[in-house]
């Protein structure tokens, strides 16, 4: 494997693993990465940097690939079909100076023939005769697909009778950008110029620019052909472009595969416009669901508040009933938080999934983050409601009511004292005047009216104080409602924190993914 591609593949693999841990990509994305072709011709040789160009003979049944290889070698090294014209094994023809590495496990040893030569003029090229692509034996077709990644240059061999073979064309269309190509119409002794022209036209329609089609005949007759140009074309390409440059074509194709996958993975995060739209859409939907959750709490709050009715007293101040003035957390949880309440919380998570799918964003990370932020929603709600109830019962009533009651409570002492002082002042004054002969002593009418004044000075603030006594039930309701409101604010803040956390993780992964651009 090319060092450059190996590094790029390892870096993207590490990124995918990190993104999978955070939920931004899925196992399907990892499988897509593993499907990228990693094998190259470098893997066939012990010394990859000094390896030759690998040229593969590829084609259908009976087109004469093995005969062509034998003619290139100048000796019979590839088996030519007798009973039926088909190749069932792979034949490698290479210079003895090139040491092959251990063949991959998908290459059966009993189906691989290695033939060495000592011709230094052919040292830079390894010829491979591959099985027939249209073989009815599945194992042979698999062997072709297994060998193709290890080939730098493919010679597509056809015959005048089989130059529009469907199986071959599928490979040509699929792997056209992964190799250098040379096209040979073998069995030229039975071919025509019109067939070559049609073949060239088909190749041009398939995307090949000025394809080279050479004619050869391995029938042993004297039919003029272009056999010598086959080796000559390869040699001229090596001389003009260099062996290293020709070998890089497959690496470029694999790097292009990584780049295409990288572009696909980037779409999982949404673009700079899509992501804010998703966040805003889910924020609105979440607030709508939280509002419904608040509304669903009204009846449980009223039920709990009814447990805190004011104590009634008899004529002599004795209590006629003693309703509970507290509630335990398990009871509060059982009455306030229902299955429906949890459904509302789950709906926020489900809505996140829907919103991500609508905006084309990966679901996993968002779902995980939103679900985590709402994991303790029930505890948050019960805790806030209990705290609000405790505050309300410890200080019942509104601040204004509590202030007025404090004034009237003080007035119950001050006003009677003031009235008493006023009556005492008049009693003393009239007594002194009467002793001096300046008037009469105060009578019974003054005494009665003074007592009435003192009584009213005490009674009026008492009546106001008692009338303004806060209702425990109303206070409990108010405390529970304030607790629920506080819980909703906390849950909203947690959702906002989740959005921010997702944005930070998203930005970090996108930056690292952009840094992998090959």
- Burial category of 265 from C-beta neighbours within 10 Å (exposed 0-12, middle 13-18, buried 19 and up): buried
Segment 23-42, tens digit of pLDDT: 999 999 999 999 998 888 88
Of 478, 487, 326, 479, which Cα lies nearest the Cα of 391?
479
What average pLDDT does the segment 246-251 reach? 84
Fold of 52-266: Rossmann fold (3.40.50)
pLDDT-based confidence at 326, cuts 50/70/90? low
Query: DSSP for 92-112?
Result: EEEETTPPB-PPPTTS-GGGE
Give residue 418's Cα distance to chain centre: 78
pLDDT-based confidence at 407, cuts 50/70/90? confident
Angle at 181 between CA 179 and CA 182, to 5 degrees: 155
Segment 479-508, tens digit of pLDDT: 899 999 999 999 999 999 999 999 999 999
- Burial category of 179 from C-beta neighbours within 10 Å (exposed 0-12, middle 13-18, buried 19 and up): buried
CA distances from 276 to 179, 270, 281, 499, 505 (A): 43, 9, 8, 10, 15
What average pLDDT does the segment 151-157 reach? 91
Of 48, 58, 11, which Cα lies nearest the Cα of 33?
11
Lowest mean pLDDT among 20-34, 71-85, 117-131, 359-373: 71-85
In 395-471, alpha helices (H): 399-435, 444-467
Of 298, 300, 332, 482, which Cα lies nearest the Cα of 395?
482
Q: How far apart are CA 370 and CA 349, in angstroms?
A: 6
**Most confidently predicted of 82-86, 166-170, 341-345:** 341-345
Q: How far apart are CA 404 and CA 412, in angstroms?
A: 12
Residues 6+ apart with CB under 8 A from 52: 94, 95, 98, 123, 124, 125, 126, 243
Q: Are 77 and 93 in contact (CB under 8 A)?
A: yes
Q: Residue 83: pLDDT above 70? A: no
Q: How far apart are CA 269 and CA 275, in angstroms?
A: 7
- Domain ranges, ordered by start, for the chain: 52-266, 274-397+470-513
Return the higher-pLDDT residue of 89 and 339.
339
Return the higher-pLDDT residue of 271 and 318.
271
Q: Residue 94: pLDDT above 70? A: yes
Give residue 190's Cα distance to chain centre: 60
HEC-encoded secondary structure of 482-512: HHHHHHHHHHHHHHHHHHHHHHHHHHHHHHH
Lowest mean pLDDT among 124-138, 165-179, 412-426, 474-488: 165-179
Q: Residue 363: pLDDT above 70? A: yes
Q: Are 65 and 119 in contact (CB under 8 A)?
A: no
Q: Residue 228: pLDDT above 60? A: yes
What average pLDDT does the segment 280-292 reach? 96
Residue 418 dihedral angles phi and psi, to the nearest 5°: -65, -45
Quote the pLDDT of residue 334. Answer: 83
Return the higher-pLDDT residue of 43 and 168.
43
Q: Residue 310: pLDDT above 70? A: no
Q: How far apart are CA 178 and CA 248, in angstroms?
A: 10
Quote the pLDDT of residue 85. Answer: 39
Quote the pLDDT of residue 316. Answer: 39
pLDDT-based confidence at 322, cuts 50/70/90? very low
Query: DSSP for 349-384?
Result: HHHHHHHHHHTT--HHHHHHHHHHHTTTHHHHHHHH
In 242-360, alpha helices (H): 243-266, 274-296, 298-305, 329-336, 339-358
Q: Residue 424: pLDDT above 80? A: yes
């Amino acid at each position: 494997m090319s060092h450059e591609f190996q590094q790029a593949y390892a870096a993207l693999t590490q990124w995918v693993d990190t993104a999978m841990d955070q939920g931004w990509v899925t196992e399907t994305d990892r499988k897509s990465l593993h499907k990228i072709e990693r094998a190259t011709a470098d893997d066939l040789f012990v010394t990859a940097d000094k390896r030759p160009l690998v040229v593969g003979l590829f084609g259908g049944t009976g087109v004469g690939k093995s005969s062509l290889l034998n003619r290139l070698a100048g000796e019979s090294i590839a088996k030519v079909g007798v009973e039926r014209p088909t190749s069932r094994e792979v034949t490698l023809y290479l210079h003895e100076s090139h040491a092959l590495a251990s063949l991959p496990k998908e290459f059966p040893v009993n189906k691989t023939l290695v033939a060495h030569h000592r011709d230094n003029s052919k040292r830079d090229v390894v010829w491979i005769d591959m099985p027939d692509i249209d073989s009815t034996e599945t194992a042979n077709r698999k062997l072709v697909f297994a060998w193709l990644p290890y080939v730098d240059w493919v010679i597509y061999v056809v015959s005048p009778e089989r130059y529009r073979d469907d199986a071959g064309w599928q490979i040509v269309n699929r792997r056209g950008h992964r190799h250098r190509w040379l096209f040979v119409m073998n069995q030229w002794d039975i071919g025509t110029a019109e067939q070559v022209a049609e073949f060239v036209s088909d190749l041009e329609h398939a995307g090949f620019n000025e394809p080279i089609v050479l004619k050869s005949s391995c029938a042993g007759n004297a039919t003029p052909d272009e056999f010598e140009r086959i080796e000559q074309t390869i040699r001229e390409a090596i001389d003009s472009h260099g062996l290293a440059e020709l070998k890089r074509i497959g690496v470029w194709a694999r790097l292009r595969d990584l780049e295409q996958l990288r572009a696909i993975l980037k779409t999982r995060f949404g673009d700079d416009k899509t992501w804010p739209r998703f966040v805003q859409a889910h924020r609105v939907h979440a607030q709508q669901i939280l509002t419904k959750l608040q509304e669903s709490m009204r009846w449980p709050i009223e039920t709990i508040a009814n447990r805190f009715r004011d104590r009634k007293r008899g004529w002599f101040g004795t209590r006629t009933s003693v309703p509970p003035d507290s509630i335990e957390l398990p009871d509060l949880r059982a009455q306030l938080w229902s299955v429906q309440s949890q459904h509302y919380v789950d709906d926020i998570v489900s809505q996140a999934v829907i919103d991500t799918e609508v905006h084309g964003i990966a679901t996993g990370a968002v779902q995980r983050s939103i679900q985590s932020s709402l994991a303790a929603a029930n505890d948050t709600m019960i805790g806030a409601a209990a705290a609000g109830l405790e505050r309300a019962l410890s200080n019942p009533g509104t601040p204004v009511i509590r202030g007025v009651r404090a004034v009237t409570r003080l007035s119950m002492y001050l006003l009677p004292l003031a009235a008493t002082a006023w009556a005492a002042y008049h009693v003393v004054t009239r007594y002194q005047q009467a002793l001096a002969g300046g008037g009469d002593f105060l009578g019974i009418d003054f005494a009665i009216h003074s007592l009435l004044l003192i009584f009213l000075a005490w009674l009026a603030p008492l009546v106001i104080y008692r009338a303004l006594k806060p209702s425990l039930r109303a206070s409990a309701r108010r405390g529970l409602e304030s607790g629920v409101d506080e819980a909703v604010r906390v849950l909203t803040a947690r959702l906002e924190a989740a959005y921010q956390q997702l944005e930070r993780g998203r930005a970090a992964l996108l930056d690292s993914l952009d840094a992998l651009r090959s």
